[in-house]
Chains A and B, each alone.
Chain A
Amino acid sequence: MRKAGYVPRFSPIERLLHWLNALGFFFLLATGLILYLPSLSMLVSRRQTIQSIHFWGGVGWLAALAAVTALGGRRLLTTARELERFDHDDLRWLRRRAAPQGRFNAGQKINAALTAAFTILFAVSGLLLWFGEQNTRYRFASTVILHDGLMYISLLLLAGHLYLALIHPATRHSLRGITLGDVRVEWAARHHSKWQPEGVQVDWRPRQTRKWKPEFTNADRSRRR
């Protein structure tokens, strides 16, 4: 094993999507809090302007996410499939946290699913708030509860995310992956031992107690039959 070696973990398009999402979230959090917190709205006052900035910032964020997703095309689709699939080890990991994981662990997969769902729900409730102010047809008594609730849950998720990415000694190395793209082979072997990076020949199986199962192609399968 190459101790000083690194393996690519996140592709440029994945990193772009991540940081675009982060940028949009913090921008909307800041402008949203000015609308939400009386003490901040006192400081800034211009509610109409902030409201427009918040709304159009949200629209721009969604448009940018859509553009990057379109740009990523198949590559991001592959990532999405990787994220949505939970195998036996993922479910074990969620229960006992001692099962080998792929490029994404089960917690990251759930976080990704929630983040994607929240993006949709933020967008729908935000549009309803915006149009509901102009037309009662779009007004639901619970829209504001949903929008605020999403904000609170997102802050909790973000707090956990930041803790794991910046502070927790075992996981904070992943910050390098999402910024520079690559991670240390040794770290990957310990935390993502089932992951097989494309085009990188590393043998990190000896650390695993589980027997390594080779990936079979369709050709292999037909041979077996």
Chain B
Amino acid sequence: MEMDSPPIAGEQEPQPRRFGRGVFLATVAGGLSSLFWGKAAWDQVSGFVSPVASAVAPILPTGGWRIYTISGRMPVFDPARWRLKIGGLVEQPTSLTYEQLRALPRVEQVSTFHCVTGWSVNNVHWAGVRLHDVLALARPQASGQALQFVSMEQPYIDYLTLPQASLRDVMLAYEMDGKPLKQEHGAPLRLVIPEMYGYKNVKWLQQINVVQQATAGYWEDLGYDRDAWVGRSNGYGT
């Protein structure tokens, strides 16, 4: 404070205040504390904000999605060469073309997509096929208790147990929000399991193997939970 000019008798000018330091400290404190309330607050207001968000969508086209890849290049879907193979512990190893897949019974659902890093996309409109319709073609053996999902993006794999894979709204999606799945969302086919975080929703799917038990997938090898229940895993809600 030695640089302040001292108060002068008879002047009503008060000492300068360290208001700037207060703004700085309050902002840092508020920001750090938001690590504990930010998401809850955002969930409260996001419904209110989303009309604004969709108004600026043409300028800032996120749609709320963040695209994660693990390799240098996104897999490219070639309809002539792509196949969905179902193998492992099955009676009838099967290979489906894109047309054959689209000919299976079509289902649609609206569900919310949660990423383990904290962002979510509400009301995603998926269309595709149920897993059991695809698996039935290959007739899994009784010893098979889990499914291994293999992405075209090497070396991304992940697993679900059969009870997990049999949840009501698990599906293989080839359409998102009324359009064929885009490359960044895993064209032509991705797994959708809304109850679990995004890293279980394998993109660029090319093979499903019936296996004896679920082991660690790509992210689980890096420390993420195998049972990635939304809100009940990976350090959340525990």
Does A28 count as interface, using CB distance less than 8 angstroms?
no
* B185, closest chain A residue (CB): A38
Do the beta carbons of B117 and A137 come within 8 Å of each other? no
Task: List, in ascending order, chain A residues with CB within 8 A of B79's CB.
Answer: none
In the complex, A221 has a CB within 8 A of chain B: yes
Specify which chain B residues have a CB less than 8 angstroms from the CB of A81 in the assembled complex: 3
B17 at the interface (CB under 8 A from A): yes
A38, A78, A132, A215: residue with the most chain B Cβ atoms closer than 10 Å: A38
B11 at the interface (CB under 8 A from A): yes
Chain A contributes a number of interface residues (CB within 8 A of B) equal to 58
Bound CA–CA A132/B116 (angstroms): 10
Contacts of A88 in B (CB 8 A): 13-14
Whole-angstrom CA separation of A151 from B17 in the bound complex:
29
Known A84-B21, A113-B21, A145-B42; contact A39-B72, beta-carbon cutoff 8 A: no
Which of B19, B24, B73, B183 sits near A117, CB closer than 8 Å? B24
Q: How far is the CB of A107 from chain B (nearest CB, A)?
A: 12
The interface residues of chain B, by DSSP majority, are classed as loop
Q: How far is the CA of A201 from the CA of B17 in the complex (A)?
A: 28
Interchain CB contact under 8 A, B61 and A37? yes
Residues of chain A from 6 to 42 with CB closer than 8 A to chain B in the complex = 35-39, 41-42
Known: A48-B72, A136-B224. A145 touches B67 (CB 8 A): no
Q: How far is the CA of A151 from the CA of B13 in the complex (A)?
A: 39
1/0 contact trace for A132-155 toward B, CB 8 Å?
Answer: 111111011111111001100000
Residues from chain A with Cβ under 8 Å of B65 in the complex = 38
Interface residues, chain B, CB within 8 Å of chain A? 3, 5-6, 8-9, 11, 13-21, 23-25, 27-28, 31-32, 34-40, 42, 60-63, 65-74, 116-119, 183-184, 222-225, 234-236
Closest 8 CB pairs of A and B: A142-B38, A84-B20, A117-B27, A86-B19, A136-B235, A85-B16, A121-B31, A113-B23
Would you give 25 A-B contacts (Cβ < 8 Å), ordered by A? A38-B62, A42-B67, A45-B73, A46-B73, A48-B72, A81-B3, A84-B20, A88-B13, A113-B20, A113-B21, A114-B24, A117-B24, A120-B31, A135-B223, A136-B225, A139-B235, A139-B236, A141-B38, A142-B42, A143-B118, A145-B39, A145-B118, A146-B31, A216-B5, A216-B6
Task: A41-B66, A85-B16 given; name 14 further pairs at CB < 8 Å.
Answer: A42-B183, A46-B73, A47-B70, A48-B71, A81-B3, A84-B19, A86-B19, A114-B23, A128-B35, A139-B234, A142-B36, A144-B119, A145-B34, A215-B5
